[in-house]
Structure 1
Amino acid sequence: MVEGRGEEVVGCLEEVGLLGAEIGDDVGDNKERGKKLDKGDDRSRGGRGRWQGWRVHASWAPSTLHYNAATANHLIAAYARHHQTPHAHQLFDEIPQPNVISFTSLMTSYNVTNRPDMALRLFGRMPALGVRPNSFTVATAIAACSRVGDVHSGVNLHALVETGGLRDDVVVSTALVGFYAKANYLVEARKMFDGMECGNVVSWGAMISGYAQSGDGRSAILLFSEFLGRDLRANHFMLSSVVNACASMGRLGLGKSIHGKVVRCWHEGNEVIEGALIDMYTKCGCFEYARKVFDRIVNPSLVVFTSIIVAAAKYGLAKLALDLFDEMVEKGVKPNEVTFLGVLHACSHGGLVDVGLGYLDSMNRLYGVVPGAKHYTCVVDMLGRAGRLDQAYEMSKNIEVTGDDELMLWSTLLSASRIHSRLDVAAEAGERLKEFNTDVAGAYMAMKNAYVSVGEWEGAMQVRSEMRRRGIRKEPGCSWVEIKDVPYVFRAGDVEKCSRGSEVMALLRDLEVKMEGRGYVTGSTKRYLIEEGKELDVTIGVHSEMLAIGFGL
């Protein structure tokens, strides 16, 4: 039990009007006090606005040696509301017979404080105590499965829902839609969604978000269009998902329309939407719009600052990205690991190698952010772009990474070695990548192109044969450009299917000649290999981005 603290308790009791309460006050009085604490009455706050309900509880809890469940539930809810989960759990353990509300309140508290595993443990204790979960309890357990990524338990809960007669409950159905959508089980999510007789804004938002996060922006936008015909009001969560869908498809015109709806719905000040808008305008080629969104924000949060820094880095505006970082620090906003990824990315594309190394060194020393695999990979890319391959190679060898992080690290080094024709480093990186069973088509293509770029045709043929032996195929890169609200899609090397392909290639060759005339060294747009008596076209340099830009010009 939470103990009292002398004079502090007396002062707090005076504030909330409970001083002088008799020891023998009945349970009803304590229940009313519990309601006050649950609602976060301002009188239960200290001088600095901090919630201090535990001090009030400490003063009168000993007077009720055996808690009434209703009284305790209000207290648990109060502790949960203010993220005092340890106190809530301690009180829960003192209840002789906790009921379904007790369990649900504490489970919710653990979900909110990022301990969904504890929420699931509590749910597992209910049958042994003879407590039957209600729809809110089941929905809370499903949310916990979603947070912890436990698909198996979530599916079992779905079975419980079907057999327990909760299938038509809107709270449970909404939770299941969100669970399947976050787990990327979109077919199952859509079945649950379509089976709801009266969906709410949460279920619609969960389904739209699921499509957007899985890269199916078209379905997200179509579903949102259907939502607009309903008598429901979009919340910030749904609007940010639609903005992200527009970003994934490069739909600038539609994105601007959604931005207008954000303003009309009074969600412009929401940091999640602001970050999504900055990202959307950035991906759609309108950094100036992204900057305008940022400049209208009075007190940018970490999310917003990070979004604009990453955006500036993507556009090669290294100085602006670093200036924004300095502004962020001056305003007392502490950077996180994503912020530093943007900063290092800016240094990489701006050629600021030593500056970038300085930021890497300062991450933990000044800001308490421990560099991770992605940060080191970015630095390896930075060193590689600057031609400091030996230093990049040494860093790659000394970093302890596994799995996909290791794959990305050595793929990055391989790409850098190709650019600078360092076949020795490329060979070492290639050997490391061969150890992976995942699709490494991009790495193999980089190895092949490295050999081709220096005229090592035999080595290129060997890589090609290895790819064919392992059944590895490289999916061509994809880019698009929107002209008069019509998106045009382009794939790397696919000149024949490119709109006005001959004109685009003629323009690109003309630009290449002009660039070389100004001292820029480019790779030839076409190389050829001879294999089994056939002349094979090897496209080097004709990326999907080049085709899109050429078409736009």
Structure 2
Amino acid sequence: MPDMKVIPNEFSFNAAISACEKGGQWQLALSILNSMPDMRVIPDEISYNAAISACEKGGRWQLALDLLSSMADMRVIPDEISYNAAISACEKGGQWQLALGLLSSMADMRLIPNKISYSATISACDKGGQWQLALGLLSSMPDMRVTPNEISFSAAISACEKGGPWHLALGLLSSMPDLTVIPDEISYSAAIGACEKGGQWQLALGLLSSMTDMRVIPDEISHNAAISAFEQGGQWQLALGLLSSMPEMRAIPDEISYSAAISACEKRGQWQLALGLLSRMPDMSVSPNEISYSAALSACEKGGQWQLALGLLSSMTAVCLRTLLLRLCSCSPTP
């Protein structure tokens, strides 16, 4: 039989671009998209959406916007998926102004924003420190007949945690069940973080304990936020107790957990406990960092343990030099 020459069509191209998008190969996705006209295959909205999403996952928000704007030149009409991928790309790139612009321009394209559109834009405002805008977007969703979900709420709570009043974060968390939205560990972690920044360690403790009542399992982020709240409130006993209980909750302590607990001990002059935590970190497969050493060093200084402080300073210098060398090696081009 003669060889059958298979001619690629839009379905095969779209499948290839989608595979690149899922594999994080944004360069290859763009290359395939750009090669389609040469093969006499016209890209459609599916082709562009997959390519924009590939750029979004690769952190290339400029390319994602370029693709979105070039769709009209190819007589391809963007849809909600196109805009959502572009907004998500702007969100990952910290471009909250562009995300807001894309959201507002959807109406000009006769497109209705959905939960993904709003959640990504709220998250962009959160990353940009625009907590007022984040709250405004969340409150406007019902007017647009879009019901907020846990992602929308979590992003807004996180925005309040970073810049807004702590009581607004708690208000958002408590209002979620009224809209039949179940808070998850991300929602609780952000609210606990807001309490930590507001100096409300009692409320942070209450939120952490209420998670199990809501059948939400606290993770490392939840525990770390609570330990930091205890540290800010000078509650070193609670900080140590929570640190030791983390493995029972299947939450693995990391350098943030230990650094916050060491700092809690440092603030109350518990230099022996601070040193004990620092020395325990390698046994728990956690490498002490500059923050851990600095807190332990300060604890020794407050306790008048200058000899121990000198020893820690020497160890800290070695760790910093090692970290710097590793960073330099990772940045060096491979031959």
Which residue is 1:358 aligned to? 206
Equivalent pair of 2:22/2:54 in contact (CA under 8 Å): yes
Q: Which has the higher contact order (CA 8 A, sep 6+)?
A: 2
Change (3 A) 1:395 1:200: same
- Cα drift, residue 469 of structure 1: 4.5
Which residue is 1:132 aligned to? none
Which residue is 2:223 aligned to? 376
Equivalent pair of 1:411/1:433 in contact (CA under 8 Å): no
One-letter code of the match for 2:312? G
- Cα drift, residue 359 of structure 1: 2.1
User: How is 1:33-52 mapped onto 2 (pairs within 5 angstroms)?
Assistant: none
Matched, 1:459 2:305: no
One-letter code of the match for 2:229? M
Which residue is 2:257 aligned to? 412
- Cα drift, residue 430 of structure 1: 4.1
Deviations 1:413-470 (A, max 9, x none): 31453474565455445445546889x6xx5221343366566354223222134357
Matched, 1:447 2:292: yes
TM-score for both structures, normalised by structure 1: 0.49
74, 90, 104: which is aligned to 1:230?
A: 74
Which residue is 2:137 aligned to? 293
Deviations 1:200-242 (A, max 9, x none): 2223222222322333333333333433533222222332232
One-letter code of the match for 2:154? T
- Cα drift, residue 471 of structure 1: 6.2
Which residue is 2:14 aligned to? 174
Which residue is 1:218 aligned to? 62
User: How is 1:331-346 mapped onto 2 (pairs within 5 angstroms)?
Assistant: 331-346=179-194
Report the Cα distance in structure 2 between the residues aligned to 1:402 and 1:178, rounded to whole angstroms: 38
Report the Cα distance in structure 1 between the residues aligned to 2:64 and 2:28, rounded to whole angstroms: 16
- Cα drift, residue 314 of structure 1: 2.2
Deviations 1:304-346 (A, max 9, x none): 2232222222224211111122222223322223222222222
Which residue is 1:190 aligned to? 30
Q: In angstroms, what is the RMSD of aligned CA positions?
A: 3.4
Change (3 A) 1:418 1:297: same
- Cα drift, residue 165 of structure 1: 7.5
Which residue is 1:203 aligned to? 47
Matched, 1:347 2:195: yes
Which residue is 1:273 aligned to? 117
Change (3 A) 1:360 1:252: closer
Report the Cα distance in structure 1 between the residues aligned to 2:111 and 2:65, rounded to whole angstroms: 19
- Cα drift, residue 297 of structure 1: 1.8
TM-score for both structures, normalised by structure 2: 0.76
- The 3-state SS of whatever aligns with 1:369 is coil
- Cα drift, residue 190 of structure 1: 3.4
Which residue is 1:244 aligned to? 88
Which residue is 2:331 aligned to? none
Change (3 A) 1:222 1:473: farther
Change (3 A) 1:430 1:245: farther
User: How is 1:499-514 mapped onto 2 (pairs within 5 angstroms)?
Assistant: none
Equivalent pair of 2:130/2:159 in contact (CA under 8 Å): no
Report the Cα distance in structure 2 between the residues aligned to 1:414 and 1:183, rounded to whole angstroms: 36
Change (3 A) 1:434 1:334: same
Which residue is 1:398 aligned to? 245
5+ residue gaps, structure 1? 1-163, 476-553
- The 3-state SS of whatever aligns with 1:229 is helix
User: How is 1:115-126 mapped onto 2 (pairs within 5 angstroms)?
Assistant: none
Equivalent pair of 2:129/2:159 in contact (CA under 8 Å): no
Deviations 1:78-107 (A, max 9, x none): xxxxxxxxxxxxxxxxxxxxxxxxxxxxxx
Report the Cα distance in structure 1 between the residues aligned to 2:31 and 2:22, rounded to whole angstroms: 15
Which residue is 2:175 aligned to? 327
157, 165, 190: which is aligned to 1:309?
A: 157
Change (3 A) 1:302 1:468: closer
Which residue is 1:389 aligned to? 236
Greater fraction of residues in strand: 1
User: How is 1:98-137 mapped onto 2 (pairs within 5 angstroms)?
Assistant: none
One-letter code of the match for 2:21? A
Which residue is 2:332 aligned to? none
Which residue is 2:305 aligned to? none
Deviations 1:253-302 (A, max 9, x none): 43332122223234454011011111122322332222222222224333
- The 3-state SS of whatever aligns with 1:400 is helix
One-letter code of the match for 2:109? C
Equivalent pair of 2:21/2:53 in contact (CA under 8 Å): yes
Report the Cα distance in structure 2 between the residues aligned to 1:450 and 1:166, rounded to whole angstroms: 66
Q: Quote the sequence identity (%).
A: 18
Which of 1 and 2 has greater Rg? 1
Which residue is 1:73 aligned to? none
One-letter code of the match for 1:362? S
User: How is 1:72-151 mapped onto 2 (pairs within 5 angstroms)?
Assistant: none
